[in-house]
């Protein structure tokens, strides 16, 4: 799979949300999402118990992107800048 050189800076914007690639600074926000017991029913894995789970998830995503095996996109509310979701695409 060939990725454009500027992929890291690309984003998809709509009036309400943006999609962009994951950044290390997203770890606390993703932890808040995936550790919420209400979210567990929507996840394919058990909800996270500590921040180490979020750091391991981030590292796996970064490794997969470096190896061009996946893209980890973050859904961001434009009005607040808050991460409200994530989507991992494999290729």
Q: What's the rounded Cα separation, in Å, for the pair 41 and 23? A: 25
Kindly report the CA angle at 77 between 73 and 78, in degrees rounded to 5? Answer: 105
Total-model pTM: 0.84
Q: Please check whether residue 29 is in contact with residue 84, taking contact to mean a CB–CB distance below 8 angstroms.
A: no
Q: Please check whether residue 19 is in contact with residue 78, taking contact to mean a CB–CB distance below 8 angstroms.
A: no
Each residue's pLDDT tens digit, 54-81: 999 999 999 999 898 999 999 999 999 9
pLDDT at 42: 84
Residues 6+ apart with CB under 8 A from 71: 7, 21, 65, 88, 89, 91
């Amino acid at each position: 799979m060939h990725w454009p050189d500027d992929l890291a800076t690309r984003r998809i914007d709509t009036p309400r949300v943006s999609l962009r690639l994951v950044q290390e600074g997203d770890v606390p926000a993703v932890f808040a999402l995936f550790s919420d017991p209400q979210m567990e029913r929507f996840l394919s894995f058990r909800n996270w118990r500590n921040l180490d789970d979020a750091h391991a998830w981030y590292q796996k995503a970064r490794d997969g992107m470096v190896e061009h095996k996946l893209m980890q996109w973050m859904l961001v509310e434009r009005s607040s800048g808050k991460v409200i979701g994530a989507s991992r695409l494999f290729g």
